[in-house]
Chains A and B, each alone.
Chain A
Amino acid sequence: MLTAEEQKEINEELAHYPNKQAVCIDAMLIVQRRRGWVSDEDIHDIAEFLGMSTADLDGVATFYNLIRRKPVGRHVALICDSVSCWIMGCERVRDQLCARLGTTLGGSTADGRFTLLPNVCLGACDHAPVMMIDGDLYTNLDERQIDPILDRYK
C-alpha cells in the first residue's frame, strides 16, 4: 500500500506532467526514498496508482540503475569506478572498503548496515577518488580515510 504521504508526493509530481506514466520514475524514487528499495508489491501498487501494467512498470524499473529492485543495507555506498578515479587509485579504496566491511561490490554486510555498489563517474573528478554514502560525497580518498568515514554510519 502506498502511504498517504507517498500518494501526496506522487500527486504533486503529476501536476508537472501531461500524463500519468511520465511520473512513474519519480514515483518509484519517492517510494524508494522511504523504503530503501522497490519491492514487487510496491511495483504493483505504483502501477495501479498510475494506471499502468506491472510488466510495463517493471520494464522501466529494471532499466535504471538507481532504482533498486532488491533490498539494501541501512546505508548505501556508491564507489566511483570511472576513468579519473581509476587513474587516481579507486581500486585500492574499493579493496579497503570490501575488506573492512567483509563484502564485495554489489553485496551487503551480514548485519544489514551497508550495501556497496560501483557507480559511474560522480562528477568530482578533480578530487578523485570519490565515493558517495547516502548522498554525502567523500573526495580525495585514500585507504586510511575509509575507517573513520565508515564509523559515522551506524
Chain B
Amino acid sequence: MSPMERPLTSNLRPDGNAVDIAAYERAGGYEGLRKALTMQPQDVTELVKRSSLKGRGGAGFPTGMKWSFVPMGANAPKPKYLVANADEMEPGTFKDRVLMEGDPHQLIEGMTVAAYAIQAEVGYIFLRGEYRCSAQRLRAAVAEAKERGFLGHNILGSGFGFELHLHISAGRYICGEETALLNALEGKRAHPRTKPPFPQVSGLWGKPTIVQNVETLCNVHHIVNKGPEWFRTLSRSGDGGTKLYGVSGKVNRPGLWELPLGTTLREILEEHAGGMRDGLRFRGVLPGGASTDFLVEQHLDTPMDYTEVQKAGSRLGTGTMVILDEGTCPVGMVWNLEHFFAQESCGWCTPCWSGLAWTEKILLAMEYGKAEESDLDTLRFQTKFLAPGNTFCAFAPGAVEPLQSALKYFSGDFHRHIEEKRCPWR
C-alpha cells in the first residue's frame, strides 16, 4: 500500500527510532494543523463527523459526535481539557506504544487539531508508567513542537493557545477507563465516576474534557488535511479509516499492521501473521484484547470492523488479537485472563471484586483438576451476575466476555478438566 493508504504508520522508521520534527515536517507534518487553524473550530468537528472516525480505544464511539457535546462559544466554561488516553494496559495490546515511540509528533499534531476543534486550552497525555521509551520521545517531541510554535501560546500566530503536558501514571488497568483516568489525573484513587455528567460537559476539575485514545487522535489531522471522503475510502467498511491490527500468540509472524478497516480475520492471520506456527491448529482468537469474547474458526471470514465483529458475537475492541492454538489449554488461558481481572478490579463495587475473585479461584481449581460439575454453574452464574448494568463501570462486563464465550465454544475442554481431574495439557 502507498503511504497515502497508511497514514498512521508511513513515517515509521525501520530502525525503530523516532521521526524527529524536521523529518516529520518534510513528510507533510503539521500541514493538517496549519489548515485547521484557518477553519472555524466547529467545521473541524464537522469534518471529523463526516469521516466516520470511531474511537480506537475499545468502545468505538463516533469521535466527531463526542466532540459536538462540548460546550462552545464565549460562555463555555474555561479551561477545557483534552486528554490522550495512552494507558494501553489491555493485555494483548501494543499499538499505541508503536505510534508514540515511532512518530510522537503525529500524536501531538492530532491532539493540537482536536484541541482546536473543541477549543481546549490544556492537554495531558496520560501515559502508563512502564512506557519509558514513549515518555522520553514524547517529552523531546513536545519540546521541539513548542520551540517551533506548534504548541504553547498563540500557535502559528492564530491566536489559539494549547499547553500540552505529559502525565506518567503509576499503574492499574482501571486508569484506562476514562472517568477513572480523570480521578488519577486529579491525584486521587482511580475509581470510576458516575455518568452522567459525562466528561464532555464536566470532566477534569469539573470542566469540559474530551478523553480520546492515542490511535484515534493520530487520525485527526490527516482527516483535516486530506478530507473525510479520502478517509472513508481507506476503509473496506462503513466506518472510516485504517486500523492498526496486531496479532500475538503462536503464529509465524506476530506483529502489527496498518490495514483497511474491515480487513478479514483470515487475511490478517494468514497473509500478515503468516498463519499458525509449527503446524498448530487455530482454535480461537480474542479479537480486540483480553476483554473481548472469543471468536472461533467459523468466524474467520468476518471483516474486522465494529459492526461485523459485533454481529459475530464479540467486539473489535483494540483490534489487537490474541490467538489460542490447540497446544494451549483454553481453561488455563481463561484462568490467566480472570486472574488479571480479579487483580485489577478497582474494588469499588462488590459484584466485581468479589465475583471475579471467586471466578478466578474456580478456574484455578479446575486447571489443577480440583473442580466439580456444579462449578460450571457458578461460572455461568458469574457471567450473568457481572453482565452490563450490574456493576458501576464497564470493567466487569468486559472481564466476563472471554469467560462466557469460552464456556460456549470450549465446553468440552472444561468438562475434561473435571472428569479427568487434571489439565490434559499439563
- A150: interface (CB < 8 Å): no
Q: How far is the CA of A87 from the CA of B248 in the complex (A)?
A: 9
A120-B340, A125-B94 known; A65 and B184 CB under 8 Å? no
Contacts of B187 in A (CB 8 A): 17, 21-25, 60
A67-B170, A126-B246, A126-B254 known; A60 and B94 CB under 8 Å? no
A84-B249, A126-B247 known; A121 and B89 CB under 8 Å? yes
Q: Which of B91, B96, B97 contacts A82, CB < 8 Å? A: B91
> Looking at the complex, which of B127-135, B223-231, B358-366 is the stretch in contact with chain A?
B127-135
- B88: interface (CB < 8 Å): yes
Contacts of A86 in B (CB 8 A): 332-333, 336
B408–chain A nearest beta-carbon distance, Å: 19
- B380: interface (CB < 8 Å): no
Interface set, chain B 337-361, CB cutoff 8 A to A: 337, 339-340, 343-344
- B58: interface (CB < 8 Å): no
A59-B189, A121-B92 known; A87 and B184 CB under 8 Å? no
Interface set, chain A 92-122, CB cutoff 8 A to B: 119-122
Contact B246 A125 (CB under 8 A): yes
Contact A87 B185 (CB under 8 A): no
Q: Which of A19, A23, A65 contacts B171, CB < 8 Å? A: A65
B161–chain A nearest beta-carbon distance, Å: 15
B134-162: CB near A (< 8 Å → 1, else 0) gives 00000000000000000000000000000
- B66: interface (CB < 8 Å): no
- A147: interface (CB < 8 Å): no
Q: Which of B170, B173, B247 contacts A120, CB < 8 Å? A: B173
Q: How far is the CA of A63 from the CA of B183 in the complex (A)?
A: 12
Q: How far is the CA of A51 from the CA of B74 in the complex (A)?
A: 34
- A88: interface (CB < 8 Å): yes
- B26: interface (CB < 8 Å): no
Instruction: Give A62's nearest chain B residue, CB to CB.
Output: B189
- A146: interface (CB < 8 Å): no
Contacts of A88 in B (CB 8 A): 248-250
Q: How far is the CA of A133 from the CA of B333 in the complex (A)?
A: 26
Instruction: Give A27's nearest chain B residue, CB to CB.
Output: B187
Contact A84 B172 (CB under 8 A): no
A121-B93, A125-B94, A125-B320 known; A18 and B205 CB under 8 Å? yes
Contact A120 B328 (CB under 8 A): no
Q: How far is the CA of A17 from the CA of B81 in the complex (A)?
A: 12
Contact A82 B340 (CB under 8 A): yes
Instruction: Give A15's nearest chain B residue, CB to CB.
Output: B165
Contacts of A18 in B (CB 8 A): 205
- B167: interface (CB < 8 Å): yes
Contacts of A84 in B (CB 8 A): 91-92, 248-249, 322
Instruction: Give B173's nearest chain A residue, CB to CB.
Output: A120
Contacts of A119 in B (CB 8 A): 130
- A78: interface (CB < 8 Å): yes
Contact B246 A21 (CB under 8 A): no
B373–chain A nearest beta-carbon distance, Å: 26
A63-B190, A83-B322, A121-B89 known; A22 and B185 CB under 8 Å? yes
- B220: interface (CB < 8 Å): no
Contact A83 B290 (CB under 8 A): yes
Contact A65 B172 (CB under 8 A): yes
- B12: interface (CB < 8 Å): no
Instruction: Give B343's nearest chain A residue, CB to CB.
Output: A120
Interface set, chain B 168-185, CB cutoff 8 A to A: 168-173, 184-185
Q: Which of A59, A87, A126, A128 contacts B333, CB < 8 Å? A: A87
A49–chain B nearest beta-carbon distance, Å: 13
Q: How far is the CA of A84 from the CA of B221 in the complex (A)?
A: 33
- B188: interface (CB < 8 Å): yes
Q: How far is the CA of A87 from the CA of B250 in the complex (A)?
A: 8
Contacts of A28 in B (CB 8 A): 170
Q: How far is the CA of A122 from the CA of B93 in the complex (A)?
A: 9
The 9 closest A-B pairs by CB, nearest first: A64-B170, A125-B248, A82-B91, A66-B171, A126-B254, A65-B171, A84-B248, A121-B91, A63-B189
Which chain B residues have a beta carbon within 8 Å of chain A's beta carbons? 88-94, 96-97, 128-133, 163, 165, 167-173, 184-190, 205, 246-250, 254-256, 286, 290, 320, 322-325, 328, 332-333, 336-337, 339-340, 343-344
List 11 other contacts, CB 8 Å, given A83-B340, A84-B248, A87-B323: A63-B189, A64-B172, A82-B92, A82-B336, A84-B249, A88-B250, A120-B344, A121-B90, A124-B94, A125-B254, A126-B246
Q: 16 A-B Cβ contacts within 8 A?
A: A25-B169, A59-B189, A65-B171, A66-B170, A82-B91, A82-B290, A88-B249, A120-B89, A121-B91, A121-B92, A125-B91, A125-B93, A125-B246, A125-B248, A125-B320, A128-B248
